[in-house]
Amino acid sequence: MDYFAGLDVSVKETSVCIVDDAGKIVREGRVASEPEALLQVVTNNAYRFKRIGLEAGPLSQWLYSVLAEAGLPVICVETRHMQAVLKAQINKTDLLLSLDRRNPKCL
């Protein structure tokens, strides 16, 4: 089974949401915005990631480099671009818009 992760990065903590290919949340939590803490979560052998979306921001380049060097399928996502993708969906719902980080189609 393929998994997708969304990383909402802030200076101190990063919110992590992992969903399966059906969009079901399998793990959600927060870790320190440090490469070691993020790598512990995303290198877990329980998950085979198809894509890891990292929110664009001040720490993005640093964290992106570490995750990419670890061989992970990471992309950097601009928040406004993500919102535009969701608005263009034919079958959008208010719930989907409020949970956009959990939508594997966006990653």
pLDDT digits (tens, 9 = 90+) for 47-102: 999 999 888 888 888 899 999 999 999 988 876 665 665 565 545 444 444 445 45
- Strand duo 74-77 + 48-55: pairing: parallel
Taking residue 77's Cβ as centre, other Cβ atoms within 10 Å add up to: 21
SS3 string, 39-71, reads HHHHCCCCCEEEEEEEECCCCHHHHHHHHHHCC
User: What residues are paired with 54 via a beta bridge?
Assistant: 7, 76
- Note the pLDDT tens digit of each residue in 12-53: 999 999 999 888 999 999 999 999 999 999 998 889 999 998
User: Is the domain covering 2-106 a CATH 3.30.420.10 domain?
Assistant: yes
pLDDT recorded at residue 37? 93
Residue spans per domain, the chain: 2-106
Helix (H, G, I), strand (E, B) or coil at 1: coil
Predicted confidence (pLDDT) at residue 107 exceeds the cutoff of 50: no
The whole-number pLDDT of residue 93 equals: 45
How far, in whole angstroms, is CA 41 from its chain's centroid? 12
